[in-house]
Structure formats: structure tokens, C-alpha cells
Amino acid sequence: MMAPSGMIWLARHEMRLSFRDVMAMMTAGRRSREIGVFVFVVVAAVFLHFLAWTLAGPSTGEPRRGMDLLVFITAMMVLPFSLMTSQAMESVTRVFYSRSDLDLVLSSPASSRKLFAVRMGAIALSTTLLSLLLAAPLINVLVVTESPAWLAAYPVLISMGLVATVISLTLTMVLFAMIGAKRTRLIAQITAALVGASFIIGIQLAAISSMGTLSRMAFLTSDRLKGSLPDIDSLFWIPARAMTGELLPLILVVATAALFFGLAVTGFSGSFAERVIAASGIAASSASSRTRSRKFVAHSVRSALRQKEWKLLRRDHWLISQTLMQVFYLVPPAFMLWHGYGTNGAVPTVVVPVLVMAAGQLSGGLAWLAISGEDAPQLVATAPVTPGMILRAKIEAVFGALAMTVGPVIAIMALVEIKPALVALVATLCAATSATMIQLWFRSQAKRSNFRRRQTSSRVATFAEAFSSILWAGTAALWAAGSWIALVCVALALLTLVIARALRPAESSEFPG
């Protein structure tokens, strides 16, 4: 029988919690959906393997070599690595701030060093798992069609997950030491969002600056990029060589990653309990610091309700990392505008649909938080205002937050070219209205902490919101380009709303008065 304080017991406990979290995210806590999830995973695996087989091209019987392959592999490694680092940093932050079982575990005879090692290992595993699942079809196809040497990609991806966890852990600990536990949560979320979007945004900015295009592949295959890279024999290409199955680079990559992970866990495990206690004491200290007197400012009922919703959005600890990524993806279109490519058709075809798509997704997330994520619905219901006024204030708060986000981009767009700016304004309002209406029709009481898994609450709402944003983005692009096909997209977008309204839950009432 395993000792409850042993490494194996703690590892099993962590795996059990992770499995429950994944299943809850995929099934929304409904056991009846487990069979459907299994069927979906099998179908998705078959489809991804077929897609990888078509992309891999004809069989060569031997591993490919050359500078072009190394450049492509390196770029494809940097993309998941940036996402791994972002996910790991958010997971590390959640370990310190959101795991309510830590106080109980730390007060037990279990060693905090063992707990820290197991928890960091779990973060590294969960961080790597998504990249492994997405890359597995292509790796498997390359193993069959070219060479078993491509199996080396699996340990390389695992090594990348270990290094990403080390970087995230180091950054978080440095933030703890420099700015304290109270500010670390906010800065860590912003850093996680920046790191996650850095590669995609960076390569698009480089492509815009050098080639005037948002195409990443055109930039990666350009002679200008190849001329600025090291020679093929440089140590810079060791990770890419390890990915292709070269033995010495593979051993070097795996050993280095394992060494760094071991050193990080050993070095930071001593201060783990101290950091957890500091993080858990934030709520109490924040509550006491807010007891200072403030001057009362009278507001109208609607203004007070809006202020309340904006304050709740500002106080949401995990909203930033979940929505800031969408805001960062507006940087390349904005940079394209600033760089002066608006006159060659880039604004209608690229900037406008990207802006509309981001606005639809952002407003849907904010609407879910405001409408379904109310933590004290009974208390709000006792307020001397009608339900309609409360709901209107929530919607106004969502649109106000959206205006502060996309408004500056549309203003810059208007300075470049007025017609696409007007199209973007109208389409953004349509996309935001559609997403908010869908969240209103499918509203259900939920905890704000479940924002990450809001998609599992209603599959119909999830798909309707996605299709609506895509169709309004297509409408904006075609309208700005002067094509009458935009009317078809408008009709499809409205049809999506009609279908969503028809499929809304029976208990969902109309807009209250």
C-alpha cells in the first residue's frame, strides 16, 4: 500500500485531479456526454491523420535534409514552444493562487518539496500534451512514409514542455521576489498572453515590414530570411536536427531539458510553501485595504449598474489572460495600417475581417461573464430595480468595454481610408450584438471561475457564436471590397441567429422588462 505522503501517491492524486478537470471541460460535468467525447476524439484522430497524409506528400523512403527543412522545423517548433510557455505560466500562477487544496496538503505530513516536484511535473505534462496530440498525426505519417527517425520528435516535444515549464516557473518566482505576491498574478497573466502571441505576431510584423504581407509562409521561405540565418552546420539548428532523428543532437536536447527541469525544481522547491502562503493571504489583505473611507459619488441607477459591471470585470483575476490574447492579435492589422499598406487593398481584405472576428469573440466572452457569470444573482435580484434594467446595464458594460478595445483601431483605420472604417464599425456592432444575443438566449447560472470552460455549457451557443463571428467577418470583407456576395453572408448570419434562437433552452425567457 502506498504511503499518502509519497511521490507516487501525490502523482496519482495530481493525475486524478487533472483527468477530472479535462473531463469536466469537455463534458460540462455530464456523464452522458462521455461516449460522445470518445467518438469525437476517434473521428478527429482519423481525420487529422488523413490530413497529415495529404500534407506530407509522396513517400521518399528516407528523411529529408537541407536548409529549407531546418528553417521550417525551427519555425514550427517556436510556435508551440511559445504557446507551451504561455500555458505553463498560467498553470504555474494558478498553482499558487487558485488551488484551494494547497493549504490542506501543506498542513499534512507530506513533504512540500515532493508536492512541488509532482505539481511541476504535472504542469509540464499537461503543457506538452496538447502539442503532442496535434503533432502526433504528422509525426506518425512521416514515420510510415519516410523513416522511423521521425519518432525522435516525441522526446523533443516533451523536452520543449520541460523547458517551457522551467522558463515559466523562473519568471513567476522572479516576479514574486521583485514585485510581491499581490502584483504577480496580474503581471504573470499579461506576460503569459504576450508570450503566447509573441511568435505569431512577431513573424507577421516581420513579414509586413520586409514583404508587405501577412503571410507567414511567404516570409519563412523568402531568400531574405535565409540570408540572415546561420550556416547549416551551426549549433543554432541542434533542436531541428534532433527533431529529424539525429542521435547526438537528440541526446543533447533531452539531457539539457531534463537537467534544467531538475535544477529548477530543486532550486525553487524550498520556497514553495512560503509563496503559497503569501498568495493565499492576498484576499484578506486586499479586503482590509479596501476598508478605507472614500468620498461617495452619486450616480443614476443605470450609471451605477454600469459602474458595478465594469468594476467586476476589472476585478476578475483570470479575465486578462483569457481575453488579452484576442486583443494582441489586433496588433498585426493595426501595424499594417500604420505601416501604410492600406492603399493596396490590405485594409478591406485583411484588417476589417480580423477586427470583426476578434470583436465578436471578445464580446461573447465578456457577455458570458456579465450575464451568466454573476456570482451573486440572489443579491442582485433584491435590488430595487427591474430585471430589464440590470440586464441592459450588463449589455451596456459589455459594449463599453468593447468600444475601448476596438475603437482606437477603427479610428486609425478611418485616418487611412474612411469606407473600410465605416464597414468595420457596422460589422463590429453586428458581430458584438449577435454574440451578446446568443449568450442572452443560452444564459445559465455559472461561476466566473469557469470562464475557461464556458464553451462546454452549450455546444449550440458555442458553434452559433463562432459561425456568427465568421459570417460577419466575411460580410465585412466582401462589403469593403464592393462585392454583392456580402448579402449572402448577411443572410447566413441572420439565419444562424434564427436557428440559435429556435434551439434556445425552454426555460430561457425573452428580454425582461
Q: What is the DSSP string of 430-492?
A: HHHHHHHHHHHHT-----GGGGGGGGGT-HHHHHHHHHHHHHHHHHHHHHHTT-TTHHHHHHH
CB 218 within 8 A of CB 207: yes
End-to-end CA distance of the chain: 62
Give domain status of residue 290, yes or no.
no
One domain, residues 276 and 318: no
CA distances from 170 to 22, 99, 129, 174, 252 (A): 26, 20, 21, 6, 22
One domain, residues 161 and 216: yes
What pLDDT sits at residue 287? Answer: 45
Host domain of residue 244: 7-27+39-283
What pLDDT sits at residue 461? Answer: 80
Tell how many helices (H) and how many strands (E) occur in the chain.
22, 0
What pLDDT sits at residue 425? Answer: 92
Per-residue tens of pLDDT for the chain, all 513 residues: 455 556 677 777 777 777 776 666 666 556 666 677 677 778 878 888 888 787 766 655 555 566 777 887 887 788 788 888 888 887 787 777 665 556 666 666 667 677 777 878 888 888 888 788 888 888 888 888 888 888 999 999 999 999 999 998 888 888 887 877 677 777 777 777 777 766 666 666 666 665 555 555 566 666 666 667 777 778 888 888 898 888 999 999 999 999 999 898 888 877 766 666 666 555 445 444 444 555 656 566 777 777 777 777 766 665 666 666 666 666 666 565 555 544 455 556 667 888 888 888 888 888 887 777 666 667 767 777 777 787 888 888 888 888 888 888 888 888 878 888 899 999 999 999 999 999 888 877 666 555 555 555 567 788 888 889 889 988 988 888 888 888 999 999 999 999 988 888 765 544 454
One domain, residues 96 and 245: yes
What pLDDT sits at residue 248? Answer: 92
Which residues are CB-neighbours of 245 under 8 A, at least 6 positions away?
63, 147, 148, 149, 150, 151, 152
CB 139 within 8 A of CB 80: no
One domain, residues 429 and 350: yes
One domain, residues 346 and 477: yes
In 10 A of CB 57, how many CB atoms? Answer: 11
Half-sphere exposure of 2 (CA within 13 A, CB side): 11
Give domain status of residue 299, yes or no.
no
Helices (H), 28-66: 34-56
For residues 406 and 144, what is the distance between their CA atoms, to the nearest angstrom?
A: 47
For residues 17 and 95, what is the distance between their CA atoms, to the nearest angstrom?
A: 13
What pLDDT sits at residue 48? Answer: 80
What pLDDT sits at residue 158? Answer: 92
One domain, residues 330 and 451: yes
Helix, strand, coil percentages (3-state) for the chain, rounded to 5, are: 80, 0, 20
Report DSSP state, residue 235.
Answer: G
Cell numbers describing residue 303? 450609471
Give domain status of residue 429, yes or no.
yes
Give domain status of residue 296, yes or no.
no
Give domain status of residue 410, yes or no.
yes
One domain, residues 418 and 481: yes
Residue reference for cell 522547491:
269
CB 204 within 8 A of CB 214: yes
Asked whether the CA dihedral 371, 373, 375, 377 is positive or negative, the reply is positive
CA distances from 107 to 4, 119, 277, 497, 509 (A): 13, 16, 11, 52, 48
One domain, residues 87 and 180: yes
CB 122 within 8 A of CB 21: no
One domain, residues 230 and 325: no
One domain, residues 356 and 233: no
Give domain status of residue 300, yes or no.
no
Give domain status of residue 297, yes or no.
no
Give the domain-ending residue among 283, 302, 321: 283
420, burial (CB in 10 Å: exposed 0-12, middle 13-18, buried 19+) = buried
One domain, residues 256 and 365: no
Amino acid at 81: F
Give the domain-ending residue among 283, 302, 334: 283
Give domain status of residue 33, yes or no.
no
Give the domain-ending residue among 229, 264, 283: 283
Q: How many structural domains compose the chain?
A: 2
Helices (H), 98-231: 102-106, 112-145, 153-211, 216-220, 223-227
Query: Which of 436, 412, 410, 405 has the alpha carbon at shortest distance from 423?
Result: 410
One domain, residues 144 and 182: yes
Q: Is the pTM of this model over 0.75?
A: no
